[in-house]
Structure 1
Amino acid sequence: MRSVAAALIVVAGGAIAAGISTRRSGVAAGEAEPLVATVRAAVVNARETVRRRVRQRREIAVPAATFRAGSSAGAAPARGPVWGFSAATDPSADSAQPRLAGARGFVPALEGIRGLAAVGVLTTHVAFVTRSSTGSPVKRLFGRLDLAVAVFFAKSGFLLWRAHAAHARRDEPATARPTREYLRSRLVRIMPAYAVLVAAAMLVLEQNHVNGPASWIANLTLTQIYTSNFLVAGLTHAWSLAVEMAYYLVFPLLWTAMKELRGGAARWRIPAIAAFGASGLVFPLIPWHALGLLPAGLNVQILPPSFAAWFAAGMLLAELATAPPGTLARMCRDQLSKWGWWVAGSATLLATTVPAWFSEGFIHPGPIEFAARTGLAGTMAFLVLAPVVLAPEGTRFPVLESAPLQKVGTWSYGIFLWHQLVLIGAFPLTRTQLWDRRMGVIWPVTVAGSLAAGSASYRWLEQPARRALERR
């Protein structure tokens, strides 16, 4: 548009110069008329070009009701539902479309959120063993910060699904990443540090010395949630890691099943993922034990299908982040809009602490209550992550991107792994009895010890193991 405007200015300037030159040289008016007519025609053409460009840009700015059939030039638009999210399937369809922050590469603000989520899970565990998770609004909030696990799951869903969402938007065949390479990367990232944690918990904690080979194998293979007696001191929090590993194994099946939903058909990916997430809210409502479909001692509420909504929240964000910006992306453009999203996410979390609606503390909820809590937690995770990944590329989040939170985020896996052992050690260190109401004493010691353990785990265990295994 700038080049067209410049051409218009040049043509207009030429017309003025021609008129001046004609007057000065005394050329007859009849001889100058062809030159003037030519200049006028050029001016009219330039004006029409400018108007046409303006109309095109206005059409791009308004969400269209069609998706592009593919990435090839001249492809006819495919009519279909837009679902209110984006205007096209090809993220490179027009250079005027701003790229979203989560469309590719490392997103520093997500690292900060992950660090906060790790501290949130730690806080709930401290509140539980100090009897500070019930009785008041603040304590009830302490007792529900473990729902930050939903943020972990949604973040994993987002990062692992993003490449395949972009692949489908570009109308490329097959899948974006070889399954074998992907599974190897997950095992290299998760298992070395976790295996060391299992050995430490089993050998260091005296109460675990009664555990036999079956318990060792179940915990080392992250299959303990499929047994009736999986609680092991120092490893009770690993149920969420077992769920996450199950989804790591399932993701290749999901993206293979959806590989044909690309190009024009990519518009169906969002409803398909939404249906997958909704299945996680239905699963715990089914009376599996009464129907004789699951063993009596198996806890349905820690089985992987019960958490589909949490992973689906991240998968939906991956689809939105790799598509041309739509309605939700426009709601994230303003710097202040992020606070609206985060306030809504906080309200969703606070809703799970209302005693009239949900049980307090670590009481085993009924199926309906569990499904409602899981749905609210998945919504909270979506609202927390959306303003980060759907913001325009280059948007800054000073607090989340600050050096301290980046460090905590980098160490978050180690913090999560080791905080239970640190918490157990905090009681004798502070001369506190288990269940004493001294959260103000136990919490800072546990946080400090977990940060140290997470830093050491990252530097001396996770990174060396990853480099060694990747070389092989």
Structure 2
Amino acid sequence: MTTRPTFPGLDTMRAIAAIVVVATHTCFWSGFYSRGTLGVAAHRLEVGVPIFFVLSGFLLAYPYLARLRSGSSHDGIGQYAVKRVARIVPVYLVTVVLALALVRQDPGAVLPRWFANLLMYDYYLDENLPRGLAQMWSLYIEVAFYVALPALMWLAVVVCGRRWRPRRLLLLLGALTLLNLGWLLADLSLRALPAYLLWFGVGITMAVAHLELSGGSGRGRALRVLTTLAAAPGICWLMAVAAFALASTPLTGPASLAPRSTGELVMRLVLYAVVAGLVVLPSVLGPTDSRYARAMATPWARHLGHISYSLFCIHIVVLELVAPALGFQLFNSNPLLLFVVVLAISLAAAELLYRLVEKPVMELVHRRRRHQGASRAPISTSTHA
């Protein structure tokens, strides 16, 4: 490949995922989870997190796989690490400081928790994160994926014999899926990356499929099915809604924070993978000149995607501070009104974080790369955790 592709629709998809996460958290705070079928569906809006994981799997694995196909070199581990740290750490640190300084915390060892959260290891000590930071569990998993990805891509190169062999790549991804299922069946920790490998693997699979298509050699039956499906976004979303409805039944467990059985965890893993994969697919393998693609590339929607990481980080801090101040009662509030208020204020706060923290740091990193003579550009503007 001579030019690097762009996937503008993925920015908008990132925005959708972040807003969905805000919705499920405000529904929990308002007590809406207990309100029948709609309450269960509101709980299942946690599917925004698997969407983020699918996006990360695709966007971060794509450059490695593209270079495997072309035989070119790739960024060193140091450069990769600098970009990942610059992408997530500054906004994360600001959010941690705001949460621990402004949100009333439960009694406990204050100073150790400051260190544990600032250094991103608190979740591995206690699954009950401080108030205002409960959403960060998924960021911890995302960081674990960042750390594991170079080793995983090295393994892919070894398995493929340093040649582009997509079938071997898919076999490797199948092995990771089996590892994920085995991890759940063995009742091992849900606070570890192996419990979520399938969601990242869906994104990596899409990267393999896109590279096969772009190289002109992808003519297999499975790839034809994927491209046909991606060209019909309405069907993709309809199927995603059907899978989401199935996930909103007792098959995936209760609409609460109660532990799930092994079977419920497996069903959650698979159904959320289906939902996330279907909604992302049209923006990866679908036609770039369709009405859907143009709608997903709308500048204002893409901008919401650019600030989605800041929105993800800050919205629970906003919820914890603003909801009581405006008279909303915990577990007894209007969920729609609470969602609208928290989303509006969180978007404003996210815009500030993006302009004052996130964007300047990323621009500094890009200037540093240009100064060093780096000529390769990322395939998309940002990814979440």
Paired position in structure 1 for 2:378 = none
Distance 1:376 1:255 in 2: 26
- Correspondence for 1:430 among 309, 318, 326: 326
Paired position in structure 1 for 2:176 = 276
Deviation at 1:313, TM superposition (A): 0.6
Distance 1:363 1:464 in 2: 41
Deviation at 1:220, TM superposition (A): 1.4
Distance 2:184 2:250 in 1: 21
Q: Tell me if 1:376 matches 2:271.
A: yes
Residue type at the aligned position of 1:456: L
Distance 1:456 1:202 in 2: 19
Equivalent position SS for 2:33: coil
Q: For residues 305 and 334 of structure 1, do their structure 2 counterparts lie closer, same or farther at Cα, with a shift above 3 Å needed? A: closer
- Superposed, 1:19-168 pairs within 5 Å as 104-168=4-68
- Superposed, 1:8-407 pairs within 5 Å as 104-170=4-70, 172=71, 176-207=74-105, 210-228=108-126, 230-260=128-158, 261=160, 262-263=162-163, 265-288=165-188, 300-324=189-213, 325-326=218-219, 327=221, 329-331=223-225, 332=227, 337-355=232-250, 358-396=253-291, 397-407=293-303
Q: Number of residues paired by the alignment?
A: 359
Deviation at 1:112, TM superposition (A): 0.7
Deviation at 1:315, TM superposition (A): 0.5
Distance 2:136 2:262 in 1: 22
Equivalent position SS for 2:105: helix
Alignment TM-score, normalising by the size of structure 2: 0.86
Q: Tell me if 1:445 matches 2:341.
A: yes
Residue type at the aligned position of 1:424: E
Distance 2:256 2:97 in 1: 30
Distance 2:319 2:62 in 1: 36
Distance 2:127 2:37 in 1: 33
Contact 2:103 2:321 in 1 (8 A): no
Distance 1:244 1:439 in 2: 29
Distance 2:127 2:286 in 1: 45
Which moves more between the two structures, 151-160 or 460-469?
460-469
Alpha-carbon displacement from aligned partner over 1:216-256 (angstroms, at most 9, x marks no partner): 22211222221135420101110100100011000010111
Q: For residues 410 and 229 of structure 1, do their structure 2 counterparts lie closer, same or farther at Cα, with a shift above 3 Å needed? A: closer
Alpha-carbon displacement from aligned partner over 1:274-307 (angstroms, at most 9, x marks no partner): 221331122122144xxxxxxxxxxx22322101
Alignment TM-score, normalising by the size of structure 1: 0.71
Q: For residues 237 and 264 of structure 1, do their structure 2 counterparts lie closer, same or farther at Cα, with a shift above 3 Å needed? A: closer
Paired position in structure 2 for 1:17 = none
Alpha-carbon displacement from aligned partner over 1:178-201 (angstroms, at most 9, x marks no partner): 111111100011001111111111
**Which structure has the greater CA radius of gyration?**
1
Q: For residues 335 and 365 of structure 1, do their structure 2 counterparts lie closer, same or farther at Cα, with a shift above 3 Å needed? A: closer
Paired position in structure 2 for 1:43 = none
The structure, 1 or 2, with the larger RCO (C-alpha pairs under 8 Å, 6+ apart) is: 2
Alpha-carbon displacement from aligned partner over 1:442-471 (angstroms, at most 9, x marks no partner): 111011011111111111111122334555
User: Which has a greater percent of helix?
Assistant: 2
Sequence identity percentage: 26
Deviation at 1:349, TM superposition (A): 1.7
| RMSD across aligned positions (CA) | 2.3
Which moves more between the two structures, 207-216 or 414-423?
207-216
Contact 2:31 2:331 in 1 (8 A): yes
Note the residue ranges of structure 1 that are not aligned, 5 or more in a row.
1-90, 93-102, 289-299
Deviation at 1:257, TM superposition (A): 1.3
Contact 2:251 2:267 in 1 (8 A): no
